Structure 1
Amino acid sequence: MQTPDKITQKTGSQTSLLEFLMALGKALISAGISVVDITSILERIACAYKVKAEVLIFPTVLLVKLGETESAPLSASNQKPGLIPLNQVSEIYKLIYQAENAEISPEDGKKRLKQILTEKHRFGSIGTIIGYTLFSIGIGMLMRFSPEQILVSGAFGVIVAFLILFGENQTKVSLLLPVIAALIVSSLFFLGMKEGFLTGTFIMLIPALAYFLPGAILTTGMFELASGEIISGASRVISGAAILLLLLFGLIVGLEIAGLPLQQLMFISPSNTSIWWIPYIGVLVFGVGMYLFMSIERRDMPWIILILYIAFMGEQVGNHFVGGFFGGFLGSLLMAVSGTLTERYDHGTPGFISILPAFWILVPGSLGFISLASLVGQNYPAAINNALLVTMTIVAISLGLLVGRVLTEPLKVEK
């Protein structure tokens, strides 16, 4: 029979563990990790401390029950706008690996997590601006833009980088950033076209606005739906669609400000470069941009570059031999498998960090922007056709993630 002291000690230990799991779960939700993975992580940690956990997670709410101790509902929305720096996410996963082996007490784990979340961006404001500029240039190279169009993409990227920094610690402003960025960039672009300084189509706006394109959100939402997380998955899909509509609104208002007649817009692909190796260099430029912009740890960078090329090559091979949908599926599948393998081999670089940048390589969000922008030119049949194309592309990428997860499940080992 347990003494009152032992019962009190056990209850206190469970309370500390519960507080640690709640704080950790909130941080992981803020990082944008799927509820499927967060649930698995929290349950493994509880098991390591010899406690059975029941976890209920929604995109902004977290509930955890350990034995007879149950948490109150916790609002788990990100307190700061935007994605948290990836150096913080990397350190959080180090803490997770320790907790999964019960190598750190819940009290120390909570203190360590608090320290991690106060760490600053590794490269500061200058690194953010340079990184996002390279990010935009890299995507322009991936889309085979001409050299002049790539430079324009980089210039617009500088403008958007300043806007991102402006809204960094202002939650209300950050909610409007997609509209503000699309409005300013599109106004400048369409005015440039009207005055004859710029040539091209609205597709040239994609690299500068790519950060706001919800490709990762939509794909994660579809992945959660396929995994049975209906509420979370549906919430992400709706959120992603809303962001696309905000971008579209900003683009339309920018067009109206410029006063450019619709008939002057050519809703076709811009004149692309014929240099075949430009996209391959673009992957590297994009990766370096992500390194600076997203504050990635130096030790994580080689794996990220590797998986960027794996996802890109997989998509290219699939597109060439079968078609676009299979290209998205194959790129996503190889991305998921290689991310898990590198996490197992390196024992430190999380799969989430290594595959996150590759979502922008697969670019499902930009396709959605293109389909919605077709509405600007009142090309309704094209808009409907493109919307279907976007949906199937996101399904293909989500299916690749799901199949990759199934294939790599037996390879997961304790850290």
Structure 2
Amino acid sequence: MNAWRLRLRIPRLQLHARSIEATQYVESPSAQLQEFLVKLGSALLSIGTAATDIQQTLKRVSIALGSPNAALIVFPTLIFVGLPEEKETRFEVAEPWGGEVRFDRAARVYAVVDRALAGTITAAEGIEAIEAIVAAKPRFRMPLRVLGHGIAAAGVGLVLLGADPLSMLYAFMLGVLVGIAKLLIKPGTYAAILFPILTAFALATIVFAAASQFPHVVAEPLQVLVPPLVTLLPGAVLTTGIQELAAGDMVAGSSRLVSGIAQLLFLAFGIIAALTITGVPASVALFSSHPPLGAFQPWLGVVLFSLGIFFYYCGPRRSLYFLTLVLAVAYGGQILGAVLVGSVFSGFFGAFALTVVAYLVQSVRGAPPAVVCFLPAFWLLVPGATGLIGLTQSAAGTDIDASSLTSLVGSIVAIALGVLSGTALYRQIFRVAPARWGLRLV
């Protein structure tokens, strides 16, 4: 009997670690390189990128365009660029373009970054591209944007507060009013500085007064009040500040953290002031319920929130699908975390999943850069709307949640650790992934 031998050849899986160092494409820097780096850094600051990430990006761009020894210092609103070839160090103050981040602008800024890192754009061309981005009009007109703000308010009410259809309608109408006011107020003025606290006070006064006069119509005031304020919440600022502190950027991290806490306190103060004036009992006005785990309605809210954010912040073409995917992953990760470790640290799982998926999908054609997905996702995660609710309840002296402040701090740290862990994992994926995948280094 002949012995048959079955030989199986299993292909070897060979993982080759790629270098994360930038490639120098230009032998000597052009005269416009310093100006380009300043403008590019200012653009990245204006769209909400962390100072640590901006410094790394500018360093890689300076290497690619011929100046590997550039000296860079980045703060949340200020950037310094010094080149060995230049006698003077340039700096620029960064202010958000047009008052708020626009996703269409963010996508175009990162397209300039990609071209600079690939050496397919000169410094002079980069300056022209940045100036064109600044001058570009919003992708959507004002009526569609304010409609989107209202839809986002209704969606976040359904996701985080389990709002009923009537409360969602009220939140939608108030969200439209807030959206109109945000687009009409000129950035950098005193009106813009006082806008969060005045808006919180005005909306809270209206909602609490309606709740006292018509308790059966406005049964749970926070379902109507908090959703229109969602785009004023500093969830991304707080988390980015902790992330920068963890990365060793003490100045940027601490200043951003203080700014976020102050903004959150201003919003809470406006609500408490309205509560005092209207005389509504805090236990009634500040009571909040949450949708049960496994409910279908919150997922519908995620879709509505994504659609509203897409319209209001002028999302790039075809970015709605990817934005919805990332928001669903973030919310699903948070739900999973709540089951495994409780609500306080559930944000770690949501932020971890959000970070990995956002960085992976940004390389797909038509997908927005990761920073576009981070901003709305942080509003869904604690310390977004739920952080404001807990802080307001504690300031009002209610016994609804005695550990609100502790939970808020724990949630911020958990989300920041989730972002750091997700970024670290993605960098390892980048190192072993084939170059044809086109992953963007972060």
Same fold (TM over 0.5): yes
CA contact (8 A) 1:372 1:383 kept: no
TM-score normalised by length of structure 1: 0.90
Matched, 1:214 2:263: no
Of 395, 409, 413, the match for 2:427: 409
For residue 366 of structure 1, what is the aligned residue in structure 2? 385
Of 330, 339, 345, the match for 1:311: 330
Paired with 1:233 and 1:274, the residues of 2 have a C-alpha distance of: 34
For residue 28 of structure 1, what is the aligned residue in structure 2? 44
Paired with 2:254 and 2:419, the residues of 1 have a C-alpha distance of: 17
In terms of mean alpha carbon deviation, does 165-174 or 28-37 score higher? Answer: 165-174
Structure with max Cα Rg: 2
For residue 356 of structure 1, what is the aligned residue in structure 2? 375
CA contact (8 A) 1:201 1:270 kept: no
CA contact (8 A) 2:319 2:366 kept: no
State the secondary structure of the residue aligned to 1:90: helix
Matched, 1:300 2:290: no
Matched to 1:21, the amino acid is L
Deviation at 1:274, TM superposition (A): 9.8
In terms of mean alpha carbon deviation, does 141-150 or 22-31 score higher? Answer: 141-150
For residue 7 of structure 1, what is the aligned residue in structure 2? none
Q: Measured at CA, do residues 383 and 80 of structure 1 come closer, stay the same or move farther in structure 2, by a change above 3 Å?
A: farther
Matched to 1:290, the amino acid is I
For residue 61 of structure 1, what is the aligned residue in structure 2? 78
CA contact (8 A) 2:155 2:301 kept: yes
Structure 1 segment 7-406 matched on structure 2, within 5 A? 13-52=29-68, 53-69=70-86, 71-72=88-89, 74-78=91-95, 80=97, 82-143=99-160, 144-169=162-187, 171-196=189-214, 197-202=217-222, 204-257=224-277, 259-262=278-281, 265-270=284-289, 276-346=295-365, 349-379=368-398, 385-406=403-424
Structure 1: state its 5+ residue gaps: 1-9
For residue 3 of structure 1, what is the aligned residue in structure 2? none
In terms of mean alpha carbon deviation, does 70-79 or 331-340 score higher? Answer: 70-79
Matched to 1:77, the amino acid is A
Matched to 2:209, the amino acid is L
The alignment covers a number of residue pairs equal to 404
Deviation at 1:31, TM superposition (A): 1.0
Matched to 1:244, the amino acid is L
CA contact (8 A) 1:39 1:56 kept: yes
Paired with 2:332 and 2:394, the residues of 1 have a C-alpha distance of: 32
Paired with 1:30 and 1:277, the residues of 2 have a C-alpha distance of: 36
CA contact (8 A) 1:218 1:240 kept: yes
In terms of mean alpha carbon deviation, does 45-54 or 183-192 score higher? Answer: 45-54
Paired with 2:293 and 2:410, the residues of 1 have a C-alpha distance of: 28
CA contact (8 A) 2:42 2:93 kept: yes
CA contact (8 A) 2:102 2:315 kept: yes
Paired with 2:188 and 2:258, the residues of 1 have a C-alpha distance of: 23
Structure 2: state its 5+ residue gaps: 1-26
Matched to 1:179, the amino acid is I
Structure 1 vs Structure 2: percent identity of aligned residues? 29
Paired with 2:144 and 2:309, the residues of 1 have a C-alpha distance of: 10
CA contact (8 A) 2:81 2:91 kept: no
Q: Measured at CA, do residues 88 and 79 of structure 1 come closer, stay the same or move farther in structure 2, by a change above 3 Å?
A: closer
Q: Measured at CA, do residues 296 and 168 of structure 1 come closer, stay the same or move farther in structure 2, by a change above 3 Å?
A: farther
Paired with 2:147 and 2:181, the residues of 1 have a C-alpha distance of: 13
Higher helix share: 1
